[in-house]
Amino acid sequence: MGVPVTGETHQAMPVGPRALRSVCGLFVTGVTVVTSGVAERAAGTTVNSFTSVSMDPPLVLFCLHNNSRLHTVVQETGAYVVNFLTGRHGLLARAFAGKETASLRDVPCTASETGVPALSEALAFLACRLVNSFDGGDHTIFLGEVVDLGRSHPQEPLIFFRGALSALEEEPPGAHPIFDG
Ligand SMILES: Cc1cc2nc3c(=O)[nH]c(=O)nc-3n(C[C@H](O)[C@H](O)[C@H](O)COP(=O)(O)O)c2cc1C
C-alpha cells in the first residue's frame, strides 16, 4: 500500500543556513549547558545538540561550533558535563549563549567525578570522559562515556522550539511512556 496523498505539500526551500535553521527549529529539543575545564579553566556553553547514543557502553554526544571558546577547553580537559536545564533557567541559557559568556563562578556548582563542575540546580547531569571527536563541518562532534550522573526532583524542563526558549509546562494529556529505557 502506498503512502496516502492528501494534496497538501511542504513549502520547498533552497538548502541554506536560513532554511536549515527554520526547519531544524521545528524539531523541539531540551536545553543544556555543557561545562568543561577544571577550577579556573571551567567554562560553560548553552547547547541543544545533545543526544544519547549508546546504553552499553554508556555513550552520549553533543556538537560544538569550531569557534566556540569551549572547544579547546573540552579537548584539553578530555571531559565534559551535560547539564539539563529546568523551565526556570531561561535567563541562564541566554547568559551562556551570549558573546560575553557567563562565568561559572556566578552559578552554584559541585565537582563531578572528573573534576568538571556540574550545575547544582540542573534537572539532571551526565559527566563524561571524552572518548572520540569527529569532524562535523563547522562543528565538532564530541562523543563521551558517562562516568557519573545524577538527577534532581521532578521539574519542568526548558525547551527550545522555533527559536524560542520556554518551559514545557505539563505533559501532554494521556501521555504514557512508550519506552522506559
Ligand atoms: C538554545 C540554544 C542552543 C544552542 N546549541 C548549540 C549547540 O548545540 N552547539 C553550539 O556550538 N552552539 C549552540 N548554541 C550557541 C552557543 O551557545 C553560542 O554560540 C555561545 O555564544 C557560544 O559561546 P562560547 O564561544 O563561549 O562557547 C546554542 C544556543 C542556544 C540559545
| Cis preceding linkage at 117, omega within 30 | no
pLDDT tens digits in sequence order for the chain, 181 residues long: 677 777 778 888 899 999 999 999 999 999 999 999 999 999 999 999 999 999 999 999 999 999 999 999 999 999 999 999 999 999 999 999 998 889 999 999 999 999 999 999 999 999 999 999 999 999 999 999 999 999 999 999 999 999 999 999 877 667 777 776 5
Ligand 1 pocket test: pick from 20, 33, 50, 65 the residue with the most ligand atoms within 8 Å of its Cβ: 65
- CA-nearest residue for atom 14, ligand 1, is 47
Pocket test for ligand 1, best of 35, 36, 47, 66 (most atoms within 8 A of CB): 47
Report strand pairing: 59-65 vs 139-151: antiparallel
In 3-state terms, what secondary structure has residue 55? coil
3-state secondary structure of 14: coil
Residues belonging to the chain: 181
Q: What is the pTM of this model?
A: 0.94
Buried b or exposed e, range 29-45, using 16+ CB within 10 angstroms: bbbbbbbbbbeeebbbb
